[in-house]
Structure 1
Amino acid sequence: MTASAPIQRPLLALLIRLGAVACLATMQMLIKLASEHDIHLLEILFWRQFITLPIAFAWVTMTSSIAVLATNRPWDHARRAAYGMLGMVLNFGGVILLPLAEATTMGFTAPIWAVILSAIILREKVGKYRWAAVIAGFAGVLIIAQPGGGNIPAVGAGVALSGAFMVALISIQIADLNKTEKPLTIVFYFAAFSTPSVALALPFVMTHHSLMEWALLLGIGLAGSAGQLLLTSALRFGAVASVIVMDYSSLFWATIYGWLVWQVLPPAATWIGAPLIITAGLVIAWREHTLSRQRRREAAAKGT
């Protein structure tokens, strides 16, 4: 007997997504603190992924069946893990190199990169609305980065933008995996494949830690795992196009954490450029939603 599809509950989906964003923003703040305690990035990555394994396994056993972890695509999961680890290195590196608000805003360019990749890799026809959004989004990036103006480190901006590019690239992989795999299966195998590979670096980068530093590493793992699982849960009750708008609330958390922990507020350039990037992302999400509805109507019409 197969389980019935979950009832769509848009408000609940939005609230869960908000919780996921808060968890992931907290994880980023803890990553930045951990780096300031001279904890190596590779060790941060190890604990981030290692702690996910028992949590994801427990979540699977409580919410479904262990059979959900069965897969016929181990190599696809391994490839997703390799891309995912590179993406995490870049995204965590952006958080370490930039103020939180700027690193978060650069991450908002992922939908913009996704449009470019869909045109190049998937040969998808991209219309004027999405190309206009791409141009507006990168204009926002230039305003924030101010090349040559020294507003933010150029290397940090490049790392953060590369991380957003990897998020877009990985989204294509995950979309393909979602055709046959459950979201929790994808989360579990990402951690299962990536943890041993990062563990190989531990003898070279791991150092003695104080109780405070262990608490930071535990917090990174718990906050990251909670964020991933909440993201998965949100998609049980609402469509991607309807819940993704909540992701932009991470700028609020980044600003609050930047002020409370580092007594730093974003400069005027960020407040001018960020709305351009956010608007670009919203336009892209709106067009994706509109085009998806059109395709479903056309498919239904052909079926009648």
Structure 2
Amino acid sequence: MNPRDADKGLPTPPATPLLRRLKHKWAQLPANVHGIMWALVATLLFTVMAALVKALGERLHVTQVLTIRQFLMAAISAPAITRGLPGSLKTRAPLLHLARTGLASGAMFMGFSAVIELPLADSTVLGFARTFFMTLFAIVLLKEVVGIHRWAATIIGFIGVVIIMQPTGEAGFNIYSLMAVTASACAALVAIILRRVTQVDQPITILTYQAVSIGFIMLPFCIYYWQPLTMMDVILLGALGCVSWSAQMCNIRALREGEAAVIAPFDYTRIVYASFISILFFGVWPSLTTYIGASIIIAASLYTMHRESVRGKRQAVVPEDKAP
């Protein structure tokens, strides 16, 4: 019997033989396999989230969609936030939180705008540029030493981004492609700041500022561009809030169960999901240049992660070799 059910005097429903077998097989799987499965679910949910944003953006302003999404996620997270009060509001790095909130707001605004205006596969792939911006910012802000291999991978990855953006193509310069790439740069800066913040603040504090502050930043714009909601809008917005929260939880679970180096490459399954959703629900087929650029970006990113894994192993082995 589940202890919680016992406390309430409620019987625990008996597990069916099939359910017991599935739980047993799941428990026997390695932790990294658990992480991969959670990551695949997370990437699917993130792609569905983008599709919902795109559908809502056909009628509502991006700030209205973003504001309602943030407050819905805050409402879902409210029990965890309120349980941590007043500690969930205490921070040792207010300026870092301020910078992170501003950058995250910009990343979401530009990223959502790109999702709405660009083909879903294109906006998804351009979001992968975050990996290369993190390399650049790690050099400038964290003073990390980067060798020729990572520099080469970064340059090649940006070539893939340029191929998708096609700044000299028939359509000419596309402001939304630039917004997608800029959103990736902002997201990379947010990740860099998050490394510092997690060293001084509790996760509940980070969650509180993330869930509430962005919604309040977008609220004035939301009010200005407000459009009355139809029943379909309410349904889609409710789904967006639930899917966004679930995607975050699955992503956290994936990183908790498996090793980050093992989980990270599966983020690129988003392009597969995005292609299918784009074709089935929006009737848009990804272009050849999208697939070419995606192949280059993914290959460069995987090579970067491989080099980081090799570098990490060397740093772990060298002290042992030098030990007496």
The residue type equivalent to 2:147 in the other structure is G
Q: How does 1:84-95 map to 2 (within 5 A)?
A: 84-95=104-115
1:54 maps onto 2:106 in alignment: no
Q: How does 1:246-257 map to 2 (within 5 A)?
A: 246-257=266-277
Q: How does 1:207-286 map to 2 (within 5 A)?
A: 207-286=227-306
TM-score (norm 1): 0.88
**1:166 corresponds to:** 186
**Distance change (3 Å), C-alpha of 1:302 and 1:210:** farther
Unpaired runs of at least 5, structure 2: 1-29
Deviation at 1:28? 0.5
The residue type equivalent to 1:209 in the other structure is L
The residue type equivalent to 1:52 in the other structure is M
**Distance change (3 Å), C-alpha of 1:12 and 1:202:** same
The residue type equivalent to 2:88 in the other structure is L
Deviation at 1:250? 0.5
Unpaired runs of at least 5, structure 1: 1-7
Deviation at 1:153? 5.5
1:45 maps onto 2:95 in alignment: no
Deviation at 1:50? 0.6
Deviation at 1:118? 1.4
The residue type equivalent to 1:53 in the other structure is A
Contact persistence 1:16–1:234 (CA under 8 A): yes
1:128 maps onto 2:148 in alignment: yes
**1:292 corresponds to:** 312
Distance in 2 (CA, whole Å) between partners of 1:294 and 1:200 is 51
Deviation at 1:298? 4.4
Q: Which residue of 88, 105, 113 corresponds with 1:69?
A: 88
Contact persistence 2:93–2:197 (CA under 8 A): no
Deviation at 1:108? 0.8
1:25 maps onto 2:44 in alignment: no
**Distance change (3 Å), C-alpha of 1:57 and 1:14:** farther
Deviation at 1:264? 1.0
Q: Which has the larger radius of gyration?
A: 2
Q: RMSD of the TM alignment (CA)?
A: 2.3
TM-score (norm 2): 0.83
Deviation at 1:162? 0.4
Deviation at 1:277? 0.3
- Residues matched between the structures, number: 293
The residue type equivalent to 1:194 in the other structure is I
1:13 maps onto 2:32 in alignment: no
Contact persistence 2:65–2:237 (CA under 8 A): yes
Distance in 1 (CA, whole Å) between partners of 2:202 and 2:34 is 21
The residue type equivalent to 1:51 in the other structure is L
**Distance change (3 Å), C-alpha of 1:70 and 1:196:** closer
Deviation at 1:142? 2.3
Distance in 1 (CA, whole Å) between partners of 2:93 and 2:234 is 32
Distance in 2 (CA, whole Å) between partners of 1:98 and 1:170 is 23
**1:4 corresponds to:** none
Larger displacement relative to structure 2 (186-195 or 40-49): 186-195
Tell me the SS of whatever aligns to 1:266.
Answer: coil
